[in-house]
Amino acid sequence: MKLTKILVALSFLFAVSTANAGELTVTGNMEATYHTEAETTTGNPIGMDRELKFAGSTELDNGITVSVMQDTSDNLGYGNSQISFGNIAGLATIYVGSDSDPVDAIDDVTPSAYEEANGSGSGTSNDIGDLAGNMGIGIKFDLPILGAVNAKYYPKADATKSADNSNSSDASHSVGSGESISIASNLADLPILGGYLDGATLKAGYSTIETATVALTEDLHDATVALNYVAGPISIGIQEKYHNEGTTTSSSEDTFYRDSVIGIAYALNDALSISYNKYESYKHNDKTVQVEQDTTAINIGYTVGGMTIGFQDAQTDGANWTADTKDDTRTLGVSVAF
């Protein structure tokens, strides 16, 4: 079944003919941060992030749109890339590459004025979306009532980005395939009840990886559901996440994480917003004492033109799921998009 789906998708690639002249754009962003930690040695608190994205698009004579993208890593090396074929049968988009993993795209969609509660280094994260960066083939389409669907299949989840006319050979030879899917629903579109749910959105995702082809091992599983609601200047969101690391040997113990995320944001005006964010993470393993990691953060964000100034004060108890440990951080960031 999986092979059939891939062949059907690839058939569209060979069905195209001539194309109209396209265009190429270059966008990017840079961010400078001042980051301090209360419980460890800070050292030089100044850091910087940078990214470029090259994107091109064109349209074929048969109405199919073609777009490509290539972004860069933090050191401006090659990052993720993707080629997409849109308007397939007037319904779907088929894409190939290492970008757009469905579950990774919704790993935390609760509202925030600047960063996720643990987004500036407070606490330890063992998040969902493990298939991000792997090469795969996906499809996006809309369903009535349910909303936007994004599904992707990875023939080999070995994190290898092969060049053209080559393959990943024996890299991570014991790892199998992977699948990922997400659905984003606008609850206002529901029949009957939709009139009472304007401003509410529901997103859900699930992915799995065959972490080992060895007998008596367990696959990795990720699952999440998020409910967000916007009413004027107020945004409220709650998200539940489950991450099971799977096992690579028959004698390994399952380790899984259950996370709860809350975000409440208020826009004081078009430029200035504040938020309260909370991230609770529970680690389960039969061989270790269970300690909950609890992170709370206050975020402030100010945007003017293409520049954003953000501040986060985050506090973590039970850092790294260890009793009586803290990991408190303060981060000031200035980012510019172009």
The 10s digit of each residue's pLDDT in 167-190 is 998 888 889 999 999 999 999 998
pTM equals 0.88
Q: What is the pLDDT, as a whole number, of residue 17? A: 45
273, 324, 317: which is closest to 299 by C-alpha? 273
Q: Mean pLDDT throughout 134-140?
A: 97
Confidence class for position 41, pLDDT limits 50, 70, 90: confident
Half-sphere exposure of 192 (CA within 13 A, CB side): 0
Q: Are 24 and 33 in contact (CB under 8 A)?
A: no
Least confident segment among 3-17, 228-242, 307-321: 3-17
Choose the most confident range, by mean pLDDT, from 75-79, 187-191, 215-219, 245-249: 187-191
Least confident segment among 34-43, 234-243, 269-278, 286-295: 286-295
Q: Mean pLDDT throughout 142-166?
A: 94
Q: What is the pLDDT, as a whole number, of residue 333? A: 97
With a cut of 70, say whether residue 21 has pLDDT above it: no
Q: What is the pLDDT, as a whole number, of residue 285? A: 82
Q: Are 94 and 85 in contact (CB under 8 A)?
A: yes
Q: What is the pLDDT, as a whole number, of residue 6? A: 46
Amino acid at position 274, single letter: I
Q: Mean pLDDT throughout 191-196?
A: 84
With a cut of 70, say whether residue 114 has pLDDT above it: yes
Q: Are 46 and 33 in contact (CB under 8 A)?
A: yes
Q: What is the pLDDT, as a whole number, of residue 177? A: 95
Containing structural domain, residue 124: 2-337
Mean pLDDT for the chain? 90
* Percent over 90 (pLDDT), the chain: 69
98, 49, 51: which is closest to 71 by C-alpha? 51
Question: pLDDT: is 51 or 287 the higher one?
Answer: 51
Q: What is the DSSP letter of 19?
A: B
Strand 256-267 vs strand 147-154: parallel, antiparallel, or unpaired? unpaired
With a cut of 50, say whether residue 10 has pLDDT above it: no
Q: What is the pLDDT, as a whole number, of residue 289? A: 65
155: which 2 tokens?
């023939």
With a cut of 70, say whether residue 3 has pLDDT above it: no
Q: What is the pLDDT, as a whole number, of residue 170? A: 83
* Percent over 70 (pLDDT), the chain: 93
Output the domain CATH number for residue 75: 2.40.160.10
Question: pLDDT: is 77 or 264 the higher one?
Answer: 264
Q: What is the pLDDT, as a whole number, of residue 76? A: 82
Q: What is the pLDDT, as a whole number, of residue 16? A: 45
Q: What is the pLDDT, as a whole number, of residue 32? A: 96
Q: CA-CA distance, 277 to 300, in Å (whole number)?
A: 11
228: which 2 tokens?
């967000």
Q: Mean pLDDT throughout 301-327?
A: 94
With a cut of 60, say whether residue 14 has pLDDT above it: no
28: which 2 tokens?
């990017």
Confidence class for position 220, pLDDT limits 50, 70, 90: very high
How many domains does the structure of the chain reveal? Answer: 1
With a cut of 80, say whether residue 45 has pLDDT above it: yes
Q: What is the pLDDT, as a whole number, of residue 20? A: 56
Q: Mean pLDDT throughout 215-244?
A: 95
Residue entry with tokens 């795209």: 105
103, 113, 151: which is closest to 237 by C-alpha? 113
With a cut of 90, say whether residue 5 has pLDDT above it: no
Choose the most confident range, by mean pLDDT, from 16-25, 45-54, 164-173: 45-54
